[in-house]
Amino acid sequence: MANYNVCTLPGDGIGPEIIAEGIKVLDAVGAKYGATFSYDERLIGGAAIDATGNPLPEETLEAARTADAVLLAAVGGPKWDTTDSSKPRPEQGLLAIRKGLGLYTNLRPVRTFAALSDASSLKPEVIDGVDLMIVRELTGGLYFGKRERFFDEDGAGADGAKGQRAYDTLEYREYEIERIARQAFEMAKVRNGRVHSIDKANVLDTSRLWREVVHRVAAEYPEVELIDMLVDNTAMQLIAYPRQFDVVVTENMFGDILSDEASMLTGSLGMLASASLGDGTALYEPSHGSAPDIAGRGIANPLAQILSVEMMLRYSFDMADAADDIARAVAEVLDEGWRTGDIKQADTDPNQVVGTERMGDLVVAHL
């Protein structure tokens, strides 16, 4: 019987509560499909800052590296918010583990659950059947380029006024674009055969390089249709005609913005998971944040975390049947009317509004 070692990173806020449900579902599905999982829990984010001063302690990265997969919940909270660049911030832990594990591909599927179709702020006829996959480059661009902040003695201001200055660098290298493009085309091959490549080639040099390299890679995939789209236009098209998209590939910052925008098509961020893949261990996490306002109250929605377990089974353990089983179980629980507070609807039976643990139990019961 296969045994997998999963590094678990609860992080901050609702993290510990929801990751417990992810583990519960993983154990249950393992028992059914003949795999066992052992867990190695480590610190990341604000919790790690509080305990060690470092948002990603070296031993956490080491544990992640040697694990078969990493299950992350969420990091961050107002406690650690600061504009002082010299202070550690929880998000640095997230960026450091992405870089440390070489997780250059972030997959964020967006699809609507039939039971939740009226949760969207978009009209049903616009979002019906939406099923898209955002492929975001995750270890390059503005997030990792050289940045600096300094006081400009020479007077950078209008009329030579002295003042603060800051810059960040958006940088890409050919091989970085090539490998993420390839991921997108491979993904489109097993999906619906269409890739939208997003850039701002009418302004940015990095975007012009991006566009050229993506077209070169596209030549290897004659069966996949490639469409270039400017990022500003994409921000419109995602709302106006979301069904036109199958796979959407884009650089790090555009991907951050567009994937969050796209998540709203479903009306329920609490349902969306993501996978970050690279050459080594992969990492799975919900798309939502640490929701500090509701932390510790047992009411957080664990379904995105549970669906991140689904992605783990699919991409790291080649257990597609088990993954499908989780997806089906979640859909059934919703179809039966069960809701956490964030996804409850006007016609939800108040007796079916449940907490974090109960929702986890319901999914397990449907496996």
Ligand X SMILES: CC(C)[C@H](C(=O)O)[C@@H](O)C(=O)O
Q: Which is nearer to ligand X, 285 or 325 (CB)?
A: 285
**Of 87-106, which residues contact a second copy (CB under 8 A)?**
89, 91, 95
Which range of residues in 14-22, 45-53, 183-191, 228-236 is near a second copy by CB under 8 A?
A: 228-236
The number of CA neighbours under 13 Å toward the Cβ of 307 is 23
The yes or no reply on residue 345 touching a second copy (CB under 8 A) is no
Query: Please, what is the Cα angle at 24 between 22 and 27, to 5 degrees?
Result: 110
Q: How far is the CB of 349 from a second copy (least distance, A)?
A: 23
Q: Site for ligand X (CB under 6 A): which residue of 62, 118, 232, 318?
A: 232
The angle that helices 320-335 and 15-33 make with each other, rounded to 10 degrees, is 120
The yes or no reply on residue 203 touching ligand X (CB under 6 A) is yes
Residue with tokens 């964030």: 342
Q: Which is nearer to ligand X, 75 or 334 (CB)?
A: 75
Q: Site for a second copy (CB under 8 A): which residue of 1, 114, 123, 347?
A: 123
The yes or no reply on residue 206 touching a second copy (CB under 8 A) is yes
Q: Tokens for 219? A: 């030549």
Residue 192: helix, strand or coil by DSSP? coil
**Of 54-93, which residues contact a second copy (CB under 8 A)?**
76, 81, 83-85, 89, 91
Give me the catalytic one of 232, 279, 324, 349. Answer: 232
260 among known catalytic residues: yes
Q: Which is nearer to a second copy, 32 or 147 (CB)?
A: 147
81 among known catalytic residues: no
- Residues that constitute the known binding site for NAD(+): 289-301
Q: Return the bridge partners of 147, or none.
A: 168
Closest CA to 114 of 99, 126, 129: 129
The yes or no reply on residue 293 touching a second copy (CB under 8 A) is no
The yes or no reply on residue 83 touching ligand X (CB under 6 A) is no
The DSSP secondary structure of 7-30, one letter per residue, reads EEEEESTTHHHHHHHHHHHHHHHH
Q: Tokens for 77? A: 């909270």
- Residues that constitute the known binding site: 98, 108, 136, 232, 256, 260, 289-301
Q: Tokens for 166? A: 């800051």
Q: Which is nearer to ligand X, 30 or 278 (CB)?
A: 278
Closest CA to 132 of 244, 251, 222, 277: 244
d(CA 253, CA 277): 17
Give me the catalytic one of 143, 172, 284, 315. Answer: 143
Q: Site for a second copy (CB under 8 A): which residue of 51, 236, 320, 365?
A: 236
Which residues, in sequence order, are CB contacts of 338 under 8 Å at separation 6+? 352, 354, 359, 362
Q: Which residue is nearest to ligand X, using beta carbons? A: 91
The yes or no reply on residue 158 touching a second copy (CB under 8 A) is yes
The yes or no reply on residue 51 touching a second copy (CB under 8 A) is no
Which residues, in sequence order, are CB contacts of 153 under 8 Å at separation 6+? 162
The yes or no reply on residue 269 touching a second copy (CB under 8 A) is yes
Q: Which is nearer to ligand X, 257 or 353 (CB)?
A: 257
Would you say how long the chain is, in residues? Answer: 367
d(CA 233, CA 199): 10
- Residues of this chain that interact with ligand X (CB under 6 A) are 91, 94, 202-203, 232, 256
**Active-site residues: which are they?**
143, 200, 232, 256, 260
